Amino acid sequence: MAISLSINGEVKEVDADPQTPLLWVLRDYLGMTGTKFGCGIAQCGACTVHIDGAAVRSCQYPLESAAGSEITTIEGLSPDSTHPLQKYWVEMNVPQCGYCQSGMLMAAAALLQEIPEPTDEDIEQYVNNICRCGTYTRVRAAIHKAAADMKA
Amino acid sequence: MNEIAKVTRRKFLVSSLALGGAMVVGTQALAATVDGAPWDKANAAGSAEFTPWLTINPDGTVIVRATAVDIGNGTLTQLAAYVYEELSPVWENIKPEYASTNRDFLENNVYSTPGGALAYFSGRSTGPARMDTYMQVAASARERFKAAAAARWSVPAGEVTVKDGVVSHAGSGNSAQLGELIAEAAQIQLEQEPAIKDRSEWTFLGKKAPFKVQLPKIVNGSLIYGIDVREPGMVYAALRQSPVMGGKLKSVDKDAVMSMPGVLAVVTVDPGENVPTDLKPPFPFGVSTAQHAVAVIAEHYWQARTALDALPIEWDDGPGAQWKTTEQMNEAATAAIQQPGDKVEASTGDVEAMFAEAGEDNIIEADYLTPYCEQAPLEPLNGTALVTEDRVDFWHPSQHSQMAYMVAADETGMPPEKVFFHQTFVGGGFGRRVFSDDARMVVAVAKKFPGRPVQVIWSREEATRQGRYRPLMAGKLKASLGADGLPTALLGRMAGGPGFFAVGMADTALPNILKNTQIESQTVPFHILTGPYRGPGYNSNAFFVETFVDECAIKAGIDPMEYRLKLYAQWPDIGWVKTLEEVKAKSGWGETLPKGQGRGVAVANWGMGGKPDEGTTVATVAKVEVSQDGVLKILQLDVAFDTGRIVNEDAVRTELEGGTMFGLNMSLNEGLNIKDGRIVEGNFDEYPIIRMADLPPQINVHFGGLSDNPRFFEIGEPPTGVVGPAVGNAIFQATGKRIRTMPFRLHDLSWS
C-alpha cells in the first residue's frame, strides 16, 4: 500500500515496506540522491534531513514514521542554492570530496534555526557529522559567517 | 620524448575539418563533466577539438579533459586554472571533463604514457609535466585564435589580445568572442608553437584560488557520485564476501530468500572462474583479484540488503583462520624483525663493526608497530555495470579509471573497445579505490545478471571488513651514537604481510646521511589484503624513524628540535632544516609549559626516493596536554612544508589541514583487530573517526618552509606521516611515556 510523504513541499506516494529506512526511500524509490548513505547506523550523519524542522539521520528512520511530517532534504534546503550556508560553503571552498556535505549542511541549517548565533561548542554538538577529508575547520568558519549574515 | 613535444608535434596535427565546417577530431569522447551526469558526451556540433585535451564550442565553453580523478583535491579546478592562465577564456566557461579511457586505448594512449610516470589515470596528473601540457595546448590554441582574428581583420597577429573570452584588436577596435572564431582558428597552421609563460609572467596561477568547480553541485545535492547513478531498469545488489580473506563459499541456500520482496536473483562470485586476458593494466591484475562472494540482487537496495541478512551462507575459512588474534599477528611481525630480513633495502659501510666499536652504552634500539587501518572513504564502495552481449557499460567512482576500465574488460572478456567506462565523482579515495578490486567485484556480480544495470553497494561493515588495508607493520631501529650524540650507524628492519610498503625507511634522509646503514625487510605470511592508504609505507615508517630520532635525542641529552636541526643539516636538501626552523619559530618551541603538557616535533618527506630536492617535506610540532588520569588533548599543531614551490595556496592549505587530520586520526584512533582470521570492527561505532569536537583548537599551516626549489609535488599524503610521531614525542615530554605502537588511544597515559 502506498504511503504518502511530504518532501520539500511536494506530496510523494511511495509503495515500499513501511520499515524501509527513509534514506533508501529517498534514494531508490524517489531518485533523490542528494541525501547520502555513509554508515547505516546513524553514526556519520551523511543522511541528515529535516523532519518537521529537526535534523534527523534518515538511515535509521522508518518510512512509516515519516508519514504526516514535513520532510526537507538537501534538494529543498533552498530553491536556488541561496541559503547563506550554501553560499559560504562555495565561497570558502569548504567541501573536499563533498560526499558528507549534504548532511553537514542540513545539520548546520537545523542548528541555525534553533540557535541563530551558535558558539563553537554549539556547532560541535549539533554538527557532529563525520568528514573523512577533514573539512571541519572550514565548516565551522562557514557556519559562523552564515549566522552573521542571517542575523543582519 | 617529453609530453610537450608529443602534444605540439603530433596532437595538433590530428585536427581536421568535419562536415558542415565544424571542427571535430578523433572518436566520440566518453567523459563526466561538472554538469552532473552526462557521461557520454561527444564533441558538440560546430566545436573545435584543438587537441584531445581541449575542445572549444561555438558558445565559448572550453572543455578540458582530465585524466586525474578529482577525489576532493581539486584536480579538475587546477587543470582549468592551467588553461585559463594561457588561453584566458571566461573562467565559468571552462568545463573540465574526464578523459575517456576507451579513447586512450583506441587512440594508442593518447592520454597516457604506458609504463611511465604519467601512465596513471590516477594521481600526479596535475604535476609539473601535466601542467606544461595543459598550458601548452592552451597557449597553442590562443595563438591560433590570434592568427585567425588577425587574418579576419587584416591586422598584425602580435597586436591581437585574448582576455576573458574576448579576442580583440585595440588599434582597429575589432573584437570577437572566442566561439565566433572557432572555424577559422582550427585551420590555422603555425610555423612554430608558442612557448608557455614563465612563472614570472603568471597572472592567475599562484595568485588566485578559485573555488572548486564542482562545489555548486555539491551544496544542492546534485553532484553525481558513483552511488547516485540511476540508469533505466537498474537493480541493486547487496554483497557479502568470505569473512576470512582467501576463504571459499561452501554453500548458499538461495531458495530461502527468493520469495522475499523484490528479490530477483542470488549470484555467486568465484575468482577461479575468471579467464585471464593479456591486457596490460597500469598495475598487475593480481591486486584487483576478487574474493569469493555472494550477492543478492533486488529491485531496491533495502530489499537486497534485507534478503542478504536472511540468506543462509556457509564459508570454508581456509588458511587465514589460523590467525586467531591480533596479538598473534603482532607477535609474528615483531618476531620477524628480531632476525635479519630476507631482503636488503639498503646497505652501506659496516653497521655491526660500528656497533661493536661504540660499545653497549652508546647503542640505542627500539621496536615499533602499526596496525591494519581502513581508508574508510565516506562513500561506501560501489559501482554500477551493465553487461550485454556486445558491450559493457560501467559507472564507477574510481580512483584510477584506467585500471578500472582494464579490469572491466578483463573480468568480462569483452574486447576493450566495447567497454565504456564512465567515471563519476568520488566520495573520498585515500587509496582505497586505486587497485580496483571493487571495480572487479561490481563487474563480476553484474555479469551474472546481464541485460540490466546492476548497482552493487557494500554496506559500511562489508567495506570495513573487506578492505585493502594499510598493512600491519613492525619496525626495529638500532643506532650507535657518536661523541656529539648523533647517530654513526643505523640498522633498520621492517616486517609486514604481503604487499607492505618499504617507502619511508631506506629512502628517507637519515640512512642516506649516515655512512653505515643496513636496512632490511621481511614478509610475514599474513592473509589480510593490503593496499595504498594515504602515504603508503611512509605512514608507518615515518612514525618509526621520527620516534626513534626522538629517542636518540633524549639519550644524547639534546633538545629534540636542536638534535634534528644538527642531524638534518647534514642532508643536502635545505627543506628539512627550513621546515624545522619554521615550526620552531611559529610553535613557541622552547617556551616553558606547565606540568602535564609537552611539545613534540617530527619531520619527514613523502616522495623523495632517497634523493634531495624531491618530494614534499613536512615538519610538525604538536603541543599536547595529558591529564594525570591519562586523558590526551591535542592543544596545537603547527605544520610547515617544502614542496619547492606552489601554484595554489588555498588548495595546498586544504590538503595539509586535511592530511594532518587524517594522520592524527590514524595515529590516535585507528586499528583493526583480527579474530579467527576475520576483521572484527565493522562500522564507525567501532572504528572512530575524528569529529568537530575532537579538533585541536589550533591547526596552523605555515608557508615559510618553502625552499623555492623549482618543483612541486604531492601535498595530500605528506602530512599523514609526521603528525603521529610529533604527538607521540609530545606525549613523552608530557608524561615520560614513550609511545611505540599505534593507535595511541590504547595506551595508558596516566602519570603521577
Are residues B263 and B236 in contact, defined by beta-carbon separation less than 8 angstroms?
no
Note the pLDDT of residue B196: 95
Q: Nearest CA to B503 among B545, B552, B550?
A: B545
Amino acid, single-letter form, for residue B702: H
Q: Which of B223, B239, B302 to mutate to test the interface with A (most CBs of A within 10 A)?
A: B302
**Least confident residue range of A116-120, B123-127, B571-575:** B123-127
Mutate to test the interface with B, among A59, A92, A133, A138 (most CBs of B within 10 A): A133
Q: Please give the pLDDT value at position B120.
A: 64
Check CB contact of B194 with chain A, cutoff 8 Å.
no
Judged on CB neighbours under 10 Å (0-12, 13-18, 19+), B562 is middle
The nearest CA of chain B is from the CA of A150 a distance in Å of 18
pLDDT at B32 over 60: no
pLDDT in tens, B92-137: 999 998 888 888 888 888 888 765 545 567 766 778 888 998 999 9
User: CB contact, 8 Å: A21 with chain B?
Assistant: yes
Inter-residue contact B515 to B349 (CB < 8 Å):
yes
Query: Hey, are the CB atoms on B301 and A24 less than 8 Å from each other?
Result: yes
What per-residue confidence (pLDDT) applies to B13?
Answer: 29
- State how far the Cα of B648 lies from the Cα of B131, in Å rounded to an integer: 12
Kindly state whether B335 is in contact with chain A, defined as any CB-CB distance less than 8 angstroms. Answer: no
Least confident of A48-52, B278-282, B605-609: B278-282
Select the residue from B666, B692, B715, B723 to test the A interface by mutation, using most A Cβ atoms within 10 A: B692
Any chain A CB within 8 A of the CB of B666? Answer: no
**Which pLDDT tens digit goes with each residue over A50-65?**
999 999 999 999 999 9
Q: How far apart are CA A45 and CA B727, in angstroms?
A: 29
* Whether A109 contacts chain B with CB within 8 A: no
> For the segment B218-237, what is each residue's pLDDT rounded down to a tens digit?
999 999 999 999 999 999 99
Nearest chain A Cα distance for residue B552, angstroms: 33
Q: Please name the residue of chain B whose CA is at the shortest distance from the CA of residue A78.
A: B220
Residues 6+ positions from B1 with CB-CB distance below 8 Å:
none
Which residue(s) pair with B571 in the sheet? Answer: none
Does B658 sit within 8 Å of A21, measured CB to CB?
A: no
Interface predicted TM-score (ipTM): 0.99
pLDDT beyond 50 at B27: no
Q: Is the pLDDT of residue B150 over 50?
A: yes
The pLDDT value recorded for residue B43 is 65
Q: Which residues pair with B457 in a beta bridge?
A: B238, B382
Query: A93–B209: do the CB atoms touch at under 8 Å?
Result: yes
Q: What is the mean pLDDT of residues B151-168?
A: 97
Asked if B740 and B540 touch (Cβ cutoff 8 Å), the reply is no
Neighbouring-strand partners of residue B639: B620, B701
Q: Compute the average pLDDT of residues B698-713.
A: 95
Q: What is the mean pLDDT of chain B?
A: 91
Q: Which three-class secondary structure string do you get for B157-176? A: HHHEEEECCEEEECCCCEEE
Q: How far is B429 from chain A (nearest CA, A)?
A: 9
Using the predicted structure, report yes or no on whether residue B501 has a pLDDT greater than 90: no
Phi then psi for B438, rounded to 5 degrees?
-65, -40
A39 near B CB under 8 A: yes
B462 vs A contacts (CB less than 8 Å): none
Q: Name B92's Cβ contacts closer than 8 Å, sequence gap at least 6.
A: none
The band of B39, judged by pLDDT with boundaries at 50, 70 and 90, is: very low
pLDDT at B20: 27
Residue B208's pLDDT is 82
Q: How confident is the model at residue B276 (pLDDT cuts 50, 70, 90)?
A: confident
Instruction: Note whether A97 contacts B457, CB cutoff 8 Å.
Output: no
Which chain B positions have a beta carbon within 8 Å of A85's beta carbon? Answer: 219
CA distance to partner chain A, nearest, from residue B302 (Å): 7
pLDDT confidence of residue B106 = 87
Q: Do B224 and A33 touch (CB under 8 A)?
A: yes
Asked if the C-beta of B216 comes within 8 angstroms of chain A's C-beta atoms, the answer is: yes
CA distances from B557 to B172, B431, B552, B561 (A): 76, 40, 9, 12
pLDDT of residue A91: 93
Q: Which of residues 1-40 of B touch A (CB under 8 A)?
A: none
Q: What is the rounded (10 degree) CA torsion for B91, B93, B98, B102?
A: -140
Max mean pLDDT range (A96-100, B45-49, B91-95): A96-100
Poorest-confidence range of A109-123, B92-106, B623-637, B658-672?
Answer: B92-106
A95 CB-contact burial (10 Å; exposed 0-12 / middle 13-18 / buried 19+):
buried
Contact criterion met (CB < 8 Å) for A95 and B72: yes
Q: Do A77 and B227 touch (CB under 8 A)?
A: no
Are B692 and A136 an interchain contact pair (Cβ–Cβ within 8 Å)?
yes
Confidence (pLDDT) at B68: 83
- Nearest alpha carbon to residue B476 among B338, B327, B610: B338
CB–CB contact B427 A75 (8 Å): no
Handedness of CA B393, B398, B404, B405 (dihedral sign): positive
Q: Which residues on adjacent β-strands are paired with residue B94?
A: B62
The model's confidence at residue B45, banded by pLDDT at 50, 70 and 90, is: confident
What is the bridge-based pairing of β-strands B632-642 and B674-675?
Answer: unpaired
Report chain B residues whose CB lies below 8 A from the CB of A88: none
Among candidates A102, A123, A130 on the partner chain, residue whose Cβ is nearest the Cβ of B689: A130
Place of cell 597577429: B157
Q: Which residue has the cell 666499536?
A: B357
Q: Does the pLDDT value for residue B36 go beyond 60?
A: no
CA angle B179, B180, B184 (to 5 degrees): 100
In tens, the pLDDT along B458-470 reads 999 999 999 999 9
**Chain A contact for B227 (CB, 8 A cutoff):** yes
Residue B262 contacts residue B308 (beta carbons within 8 Å): no
Residue B33 has pLDDT above 50, yes or no: no
**C-alpha cell belonging to residue A65:** 514514521
- Given this model, what pLDDT does residue B161 score? 97
Calpha distance B680→A149 (Å, rounded)? 47
Q: What is the DSSP letter of B124?
A: B
Query: What residues pair up with B293 in beta bridges, in sequence order?
Result: B241, B269
Residues of B in contact with A33 (CB under 8 A): 221, 224, 227-228, 230
What's the CA angle centered on B155, arms B150 and B160, to 5 degrees? 60
Chain A residues 47-106 with CB within 8 Å of chain B: 73-75, 77-78, 81, 85-86, 89-102, 105
Res B555 pLDDT > 50: yes
A 10 A CB-CB count for B296 gives: 30
Residue A20 confidence (pLDDT) above 90:
yes
CA distance B45 to B21: 10
Residues in chain B closer than 8 A to A124 (CB atoms):
691-693
Q: Give me the pLDDT at residue B108, please.
A: 83
| Res B585 pLDDT > 70 | yes
Q: From A95, B590, A97, select the one nearest A108 (Cα to Cα).
A: A95
pLDDT band at B50 (very low <50, low <70, confident <90, very high): confident
All cell numbers assigned to B493: 628492519
Q: Are B681 and B739 in contact (CB under 8 A)?
A: no
Mean pLDDT of chain A: 97
**In angstroms, rounded to a whole number, what is the distance separating the alpha carbons of residues B426 and B164?**
31
Distance CA B329, CA B6 (A): 50
What are the pLDDT digits (tens) for B639-660?
999 999 999 999 999 999 999 9
A20 to chain B: which residues are within 8 Å by CB? 300, 302
Residues of chain A positioned with their CB less than 8 A from the CB of B222:
34, 75
Q: In 3-state terms, what secondary structure has residue B218?
A: helix
**pLDDT (average), residues B707-719:** 94
Nearest CA distance, A54 vs chain B (angstrom): 19
Residue B396's beta-bridge partner residues? B423
**Statement: residue B570 has pLDDT above 70:** yes
Residues paired with B455 in a beta bridge: B236, B384
Question: Closest approach of chain B CAs to the CA of A131, in angstroms?
Answer: 7
Task: Among B21-25, B109-113, B346-350, B370-374, name the one with the lowest average pLDDT.
Answer: B21-25
Interface test with B, best of A101, A132, A135, A137 (most B CBs within 10 A): A132
Binary contact (A44, B657; C-beta < 8 A): no
B247 burial (CB, 10 Å; 0-12 / 13-18 / 19+) is buried
